[in-house]
Amino acid sequence: MVNQTNNFFQEEAAMSKISVVYWSQTGNTEAMAEAVGAGIAKAGKEADVVEVSSASMEDLKAAKVFALGCPAMGAEVLEEMEMEPFVEEVEGFAQGKTIALFGSYGWGDGQWMRDWEERMTAAGATVLNGEGLICQETPDDDAIKQCEELGEQLAQNA
């Protein structure tokens, strides 16, 4: 009985963490992810900010809410080696989830984010605020504040 109880509490603890999964090449999206995590913590929840290569798909499947971050790459697409296959897998269980999307870009007009939002919505997810949060180049103080607010909103939806 003790083992079952301990397992229950371990599972509850894991489920109470809000995952912030990101891919970053230059550090800009990583800075955004850390700020989203800070907002989650500010709202009284525990954040698990992790690179996509270390992310637990099982944690996301069990979660009600989570955040995904990726910069625009190439012709305004998600990073293709790690993040794109990850997002394709998330699409398979996104139904009923609330997902915050964020990322940085260097040029263009944010088309990669609009495409990503459409994919998540088509998969049955609710994209927090109806759109992803984007930042051109290195996030400034304003962008960091918006990321923190996004984290707070995500925590309130948990």
Q: pLDDT tens digits for 86-129? A: 999 999 999 999 999 999 999 888 999 999 999 999 999 999 99
DSSP label of 110: S
Q: The domain containing residue 74 runs over which residues?
A: 17-156
For residue 67, pLDDT beyond 50: yes
Is the Cα dihedral 50, 55, 61, 62 positive or negative? negative
Residue 102 lies in a domain: yes
Tell me the pLDDT band of 16, cut-offs 50, 70 and 90.
confident
CA 31, CA 54: separation in Å to the nearest integer?
A: 17
What pLDDT score was predicted for residue 109? 87
- Judged on CB neighbours under 10 Å (0-12, 13-18, 19+), 77 is middle
Q: Total structural domains in the chain? A: 1
Residue 21 lies in a domain: yes
Residue 125 lies in a domain: yes
pTM for the model stands at 0.90
Residue 99 lies in a domain: yes
Mean pLDDT of the chain: 91
Taking each continuous run of H as one helix and of E as one strand, the counts in the chain are: 6, 6
Q: Which residue has the tokens 């190439």?
A: 74
CA 62, CA 74: separation in Å to the nearest integer?
A: 32
Residue 117 lies in a domain: yes
Tens of pLDDT, residues 133-154: 999 999 999 999 999 999 999 9
Residue 72 lies in a domain: yes
Check which CATH number belongs to the domain holding 148 and give it: 3.40.50.360
For residue 9, pLDDT beyond 70: no
Residue 2 lies in a domain: no
